[in-house]
Amino acid sequence: MKKLLIALMTTTAALSLAATAEAQEKLKACWVYTGPIGDFGYSYQHDQGRLQVEKELGDKVETAYLENVSEGPDADRAFERLAREGCKIIFGTSFGFMDPEVKIAKKFPKVMFEHATGFKTGDNLGIYNARFYEGRYVLGQIAAKESKKGLAGYIVSFPIPEVVMGINSFILGAQSVNPDFKVKIVWVNSWFDPGKEADAAKALFDQGADIIVQHTDSTAALQVAEERKLHGFGQSSDMIKFAPNAQLTSLTDEWGPYYISRVQAALDGTWKPDNVWLGIKDGAVKLAPYTNMPDDVKAMAEATEKKIAGGWNPFTGPIAKQDGTAWLKDGEVADDGTLLGMNFYVKGVDDKIPGR
Amino acid sequence: MNSEYLISIIVSTVVAATPLIYAALGELVVERAGVLNLGVEGMMLVGAVTAFVIGSTSGNLFLAYVSAALAATLLSLLFAFLTLTLQTNQVATGLALTLFGLGLSAFAGRNFAGLPITGLKPLVIPLLSNLPLLGPLFRFDPLVYGSLILFWAVHRFLHRTHAGLKLRAVGESPSVAHAVGQPVIRIRYLAVMFGGATSGIAGAYLSTALTPMWVEGMSAGRGWIALALVVFASWRPWRVLAGAYIFGAVWIGQLHAQAFGIPVPSQFLSSLPYLATVVVLVLISRNKRLTMMNTPASLGQPFVPDR
Q: What is the pLDDT along chain B (307 residues), one digit of tens a residue?
A: 578 888 889 999 999 999 999 999 999 999 999 999 999 999 999 999 999 999 999 989 999 999 999 999 999 999 999 999 999 999 999 999 999 999 999 999 988 877 888 888 888 888 888 888 788 888 889 999 999 999 999 999 999 999 999 999 999 999 999 999 999 999 999 999 999 999 999 999 999 998 898 988 888 889 999 999 998 888 999 999 999 999 999 999 999 988 887 878 888 888 888 888 888 878 877 888 877 788 888 898 888 877 5
**Distance between start and end Cα atoms, chain A:** 57
> By three-state DSSP, how is residue A293 classified?
coil
With a cut of 70, say whether residue A3 has pLDDT above it. no
Q: Are A40 and B267 an interchain contact pair (Cβ–Cβ within 8 Å)?
A: no
DSSP character for A69? P
Residue B301 domain flag = no
Rounded Cα gap, residues B40 and B21, in angstroms: 12
Question: B260 contacts in A (CB within 8 Å)?
Answer: 184, 207
Residue B287 domain flag = yes
**Which amino acid type is present at position A266?**
A
For residue B88, the domain's CATH number is: 1.10.3470
Question: What pLDDT, on a 0 to 100 scale, did the predictor assign at position B307?
Answer: 57
> By three-state DSSP, how is residue A301 classified?
helix
Question: What pLDDT, on a 0 to 100 scale, did the predictor assign at position B275?
Answer: 87
Q: Do A147 and A175 touch, CB atoms closer than 8 A?
A: no
pLDDT (tens digit per residue) in A157-210? 988 888 999 999 999 999 999 999 999 999 998 887 889 999 999 999 999 999
pLDDT (tens digit per residue) in A7-52? 444 444 444 444 444 445 689 999 999 888 877 778 889 999 999 9
**Nearest neighbour of B259 by CB, restricted to A68, A153, A355:** A153
Q: Are A199 and B251 an interchain contact pair (Cβ–Cβ within 8 Å)?
A: yes
Q: Are B220 and A194 an interchain contact pair (Cβ–Cβ within 8 Å)?
A: yes
- pTM surpassing 0.80? yes
Shortest Cα distance from A199 to chain B (angstroms)?
7
Q: Which of A334, A112, A48 is nearest to B114 (CA)?
A: A48
What's the pLDDT band for A356 if we cut at 50, 70, 90?
low
DSSP character for A331? T
Residue B168 domain flag = yes
Chain mean position to CA A50: 15
Instruction: Give the full edge-to-edge strand order of the sheet including A151-156.
Output: A182-187, A151-156, A211-215, A231-236, A247-253, A285-287
Residue B61 domain flag = yes
Residue B302 domain flag = no
Name residues 146-205 of chain B within 8 A of A (Cβ): none
CB of B12 less than 8 A from some CB of A:
yes
Rounded Cα gap, residues B145 and A144, in angstroms: 40
Q: Which of A125, A215, A198 is nearest to B212 (CA)?
A: A198
**Nearest neighbour of A355 by CB, restricted to B115, B265, B270:** B265
Q: Do B73 and B200 touch, CB atoms closer than 8 A?
A: yes
Q: Are B211 and A223 an interchain contact pair (Cβ–Cβ within 8 Å)?
A: yes
Q: Which of A351, A307, A72, A327 is nearest to A173 (CA)?
A: A307
Rounded Cα gap, residues A263 and A258, in angstroms: 9
Q: Are A355 and B258 an interchain contact pair (Cβ–Cβ within 8 Å)?
A: no
Question: What pLDDT, on a 0 to 100 scale, did the predictor assign at position A13?
Answer: 45
ipTM of predicted complex: 0.84
Number of domains in chain B: 1
CB of B255 less than 8 A from some CB of A:
yes
Question: B265 contacts in A (CB within 8 Å)?
Answer: 354-355
Which structural domain, as residue segments, surrounds residue B37? Answer: 3-294
Question: Facing residues of A211 across strands?
Answer: A152, A231
Q: Are A194 and B215 an interchain contact pair (Cβ–Cβ within 8 Å)?
A: yes
Q: Do A208 and B232 touch, CB atoms closer than 8 A?
A: no
**Ordered structural domains, chain A, with CATH:** 26-130 (3.40.50.2300), 132-252+285-340 (3.40.50.2300)
Rounded Cα gap, residues B113 and A176, in angstroms: 38
